[in-house]
A = this chain, B = another copy of it.
Amino acid sequence: MADKKMVEAITSMNEDFAQWYTDVVKKAELCDYTSVKGCMVIRPAGYAIWERLRNELDKRFKETGVENVYLPMFIPESLLQKEKDHVEGFAPEVAWVTEGGQQPLTDRLCVRPTSETLFCDYYKNVVHSYRDLPQVCNQWCSVVRWEKETRPFLRSREFLWQEGHTAHATAEEAEARTVQMLNVYADFLEDFCAIPVIKGRKTEKEKFAGAEATYTVEALMHDGKALQSGTSHNFGDGFARAFGIQFTDQNNTLQYVHQTSWGVTTRLIGAIIMVHGDDNGLVLPPKVAPTQICIVPIQQKKDGVLEKAAWLKEQLSNFRVKVDDTDKSPGFKFAEQEMRGIPLRIEIGPKDIEAGKCVAARRDNGEKIDLPLDNIEERIAELLDNIQRDMFEAAKARRDSQTYEAKNYEEFKQIFAEKTGFVKGAWCGDQACEDKIKEELAVTSRCMPFGHEDCEGTCVCCGKPAKKMVYWGKAY
């Protein structure tokens, strides 16, 4: 354990979760602060995680017929103003370009906080007939929202994301796409990121500016706070009417299109850190990890050790492997691999080689396992599968143990006074109750979970007959 000192210690999670998070982000070299207030550098170790997430999601999108495009990063003020709710929602937090090429601009340009208006402008140009539908486009880009308080990956003035925007001939088709993409996010989060999620619908108060309905996947962090991890919006024909996006249907009648949008952001990296991390640093699920296996040669100057490490790497070439043959001590290398969250460490030294084995150490639970070198690829594949599954199960058990139920406002307040987590509580449907809960407890409605939308009983706030079941929580 003395070797641990060689990698600078991080604050313990229980002592100060916010500081623990900042320490992990910094010491695992995921990102760095910049001279640009509220903006960060995503460093190689952080960007490699984003590339893994992006490539996997992009593949899943394309399997559902999504095509990628790129639209301008600027939105003329006149265009942004076309949809009333939308402009009201975003105007307070945009950045304005007022000068270009040493000339003041007549119509100033906002740096896109989201691109609904630009996609509408585009679809208006290319959609004419039912034959041009559906349009199922997506872009990977950065957006800007002028946040006051920022935290790496969770909230920054510029962040990376994808935004899908679709246009359909019917309301039914738009609704089906909205739910389909929410399910893509949920499957991706659970299967790939090992993060269990609650799928549900946002209340009117919490929905997206301009949407008819917003669906969300909500995850619970280690500290019991909720993180909205992906959203999918059904716009109905509101934007189409505001922008005049019409098509001629099979009966030669002019109709408005029905639209959706859906997105996830670099917040996902924050979710992975806060769901899986521990007091030794980052813990990455094998499917996400840019490096899955770190081979650490023991007594590496002895004859044959580095050669055997290289042989092992070769045997494991179907995985993402590296050998740490630097001149650091093994203890330092262990601590570093743990800080960076590499799922599996393989130690191999002269004694192991003699015994025809190696030692595998799991990052998620610290278990050390002797593995015969025969059939090593198969054994490692199984081990990585187990880690992925166990990480999901552990996260799910943690979330379930932090999910409570409240029948009335006394219970509700009592729980949030003592604990942090999801609280399931029925709701009358009146925004006044949401406002009161937010004001008094800093708690928001996270979602109305699918499959339990309607409920009996009374509102957890006002005691009147309840209409909807709601997951409540403190959120990032």
Contacts A95-B97, A148-B101 given: A71-B137 contact, CB under 8 Å? no
Contacts A93-B101, A101-B148, A146-B101 given: A72-B109 contact, CB under 8 Å? no
Q: Which of A74-82, A210-218, A365-373 contacts B (4 or more CB under 8 A)?
A: A74-82
B68 touches A41 (CB 8 A): no
Bound Cα distance A44, B79 (Å): 23
A122 touches B75 (CB 8 A): no
Contacts A96-B98, A97-B96, A100-B96 given: A74-B160 contact, CB under 8 Å? no
Contacts A68-B44, A95-B100 given: A109-B76 contact, CB under 8 Å? no
Q: Which of B32, B40, B68, B118 contacts A126 (CB 8 A)?
A: B32
Bound Cα distance A79, B39 (Å): 14
Most-contacted residue by chain B among A73, A76, A94, A102 (CB, 10 A): A73
Chain B residue contacts of A41, Cβ below 8 A:
69-72, 118, 122
Interface membership of A1, Cβ < 8 A: no
Bound Cα distance A96, B33 (Å): 22
Most-contacted residue by chain B among A34, A92, A141 (CB, 10 A): A34
B-facing residues in A84-132 (Cβ within 8 Å): 91-102, 109, 111, 118, 121-122, 125-126
Bound Cα distance A147, B101 (Å): 7
Chain B residue contacts of A160, Cβ below 8 A:
70
Chain B residue contacts of A39, Cβ below 8 A:
72-74
Interface membership of A318, Cβ < 8 A: no
A98 touches B101 (CB 8 A): no
Bound Cα distance A73, B50 (Å): 17
Q: Which of B36, B51, B122, B144 contacts A68 (CB 8 A)?
A: B51
Contacts A99-B98, A102-B92 given: A72-B158 contact, CB under 8 Å? yes
Chain B residue contacts of A402, Cβ below 8 A:
none
Chain B residue contacts of A98, Cβ below 8 A:
96-99
Bound Cα distance A160, B67 (Å): 17
Chain B residue contacts of A144, Cβ below 8 A:
73
Interface membership of A220, Cβ < 8 A: no
* Nearest CB of B to A32, in Å: 6
A69 touches B44 (CB 8 A): yes
Bound Cα distance A144, B101 (Å): 10
* Nearest CB of B to A142, in Å: 6
Bound Cα distance A441, B72 (Å): 35
Contacts A102-B92, A111-B97 given: A121-B35 contact, CB under 8 Å? yes
Interface string of A56-75 (1 = CB under 8 A from B): 00000000000111111111
Q: Which of B70, B91, B109, B157 contacts A42 (CB 8 A)?
A: B70
CB nearest to A36 among chain B residues: B72
Chain B residue contacts of A74, Cβ below 8 A:
36, 39, 158
Interface membership of A455, Cβ < 8 A: no
Interface membership of A47, Cβ < 8 A: yes
* Nearest CB of B to A340, in Å: 14
Q: Which residues of A contact B (CB under 8 A)?
A: 32-36, 39-44, 47-48, 50-51, 67-76, 79, 91-102, 109, 111, 118, 121-122, 125-126, 137, 141-142, 144, 146-148, 157-158, 160
Given A95-B99, A96-B99, 15 other A-B residues pairs in contact with their CB atoms under 8 A: A36-B76, A39-B72, A41-B118, A42-B69, A42-B70, A42-B71, A44-B68, A44-B69, A47-B70, A51-B68, A70-B160, A93-B101, A95-B101, A98-B99, A111-B111
